[in-house]
């Protein structure tokens, strides 16, 4: 069973797998004028994707599932 948790920081809103800060799924950067989704890859580096609207998050579903699969197979 997958458990998703969140943590709010000053610079981003983090989405975590299993409430573990060593398993970040993504980061939401909504503080500035341009909104970004920070996708986490296998080496745990972040790639920011600009969002025009909140609904744009749905286009990154596959990338988010790939991150979950990576952590589940570690």
The residue-averaged pLDDT of 3-22 equals 95
pLDDT above 90 (res 70): yes
15 pairs with which residues across the strands? 6, 26
Q: Residue 20's pLDDT is what?
A: 95
What average pLDDT does this structure show over 1-26?
94
Residue 1 is predicted with a pLDDT of 80
Contact 15, 28 (CB under 8 A): yes
Using CA of residue 68, residue 37, residue 42, residue 8, what is the dihedral sign?
A: negative
Q: What is the pLDDT of residues 21-60, one digit of tens each?
A: 999 999 999 998 999 999 999 999 999 999 999 999 999 9
pTM over 0.75: yes
């Amino acid at each position: 069973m997958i458990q998703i948790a969140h943590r709010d920081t000053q610079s981003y809103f983090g989405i975590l797998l299993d409430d573990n800060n060593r398993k970040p799924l993504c980061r939401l950067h909504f503080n500035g004028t341009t909104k970004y989704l920070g996708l986490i890859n296998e080496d745990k580096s972040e790639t920011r994707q600009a969002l025009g609207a909140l609904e744009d998050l749905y286009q990154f579903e596959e990338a988010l599932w790939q991150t979950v699969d990576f952590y589940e197979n570690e």
